[in-house]
Chains A and B, each alone.
Chain A
Amino acid sequence: KNQVEQSPQSLIILEGKNCTLQCNYTVSPFSNLRWYKQDTGRGPVSLTIMTFSENTKSNGRYTATLDADTKQSSLHITASQLSDSASYICVVSAKDSNYQLIWGAGTKLIIKP
């Protein structure tokens, strides 16, 4: 069964610190992997989209990595800011007849001053 699992479920760090969020997936055949940021009470906003040939992709202080062999991805946040407090969701697209997106449950990140 196609699944996306994220860890940790929640994370609290101090402002200015770095952190890394993990995503493991069992989706096959793989098409692409996306990271979204969802602020409380808002809709998700896309951060990055990566295909199997892309190992790393950055968007400002956000850097996503992908290892298609081990089916793992990570999202690294550098020099965290209070505005980074949000849920971060990993989404994997399967290259099947529907190309559906399989959404992880997200990691809730809290940045404390």
Chain B
Amino acid sequence: NAGVTQTPKFQVLKTGQSMTLQCAQDMNHNSMYWYRQDPGMGLRLIYYSASEGTTDKGEVPNGYNVSRLNKREFSLRLESAAPSQTSVYFCASSALGLFSYNEQFFGPGTRLTVL
């Protein structure tokens, strides 16, 4: 089992460029999440998907879009990248959603720099 995988591992963009971060999990989990982690701050939830076909905004959704392609895959898109979006992005999954007492499993992260 690979767990949660993310691509790419590193990316440098220019302001205004777009890109999609890919995430896949092989644990048959229902729920998937996208977080960003900035220095000196806790992780912040961007979007989550409680189940296939549903997505909801988290704490910091502005400037991002998501797609739950199927049960395994959850992608995050930056339509017009800004320097404020320079961060480390983590994808996570859990068997049940935020309402439940269950742990989240994280991918290795994507380190994004926007110039």
Contacts and interface: CB of A to CB of B under 8 A. Distances in A.
Interface string B36-54: 0000111111000000000
Contacts of A49: 101-103
Nearest to B57: A98
A109 interface: no
A46 B108 contact: no
Contact of A89 (B42, B59, B92): B42
Contact of A101 (B98, B105, B108): B98
B42 A106 contact: yes
The main secondary structure of chain B at its interface with chain A is loop
Interface string A32-70: 101000000111111001010000000000000000000
Interface in B53-91: 58-59, 90
Contacts of A43: 4, 90, 92, 106-109
Given A41-B109, A42-B108, A42-B109, A93 B98 contact: yes
Interface residues on A, range: 20 to 34
A45 B41 CA distance: 17
Contact of B59 (A32, A34, A99, A100): A100
Nearest to A45: B106
B41 to A, nearest CB: 6
Given A43-B108, A49-B101, A4 B42 contact: yes
B43 A44 contact: yes
Interface of B: 4, 40-45, 58-59, 90, 92, 97-99, 101-109
Interface of A: 4, 31-32, 34, 41-46, 49, 51, 89, 91, 93, 98-106
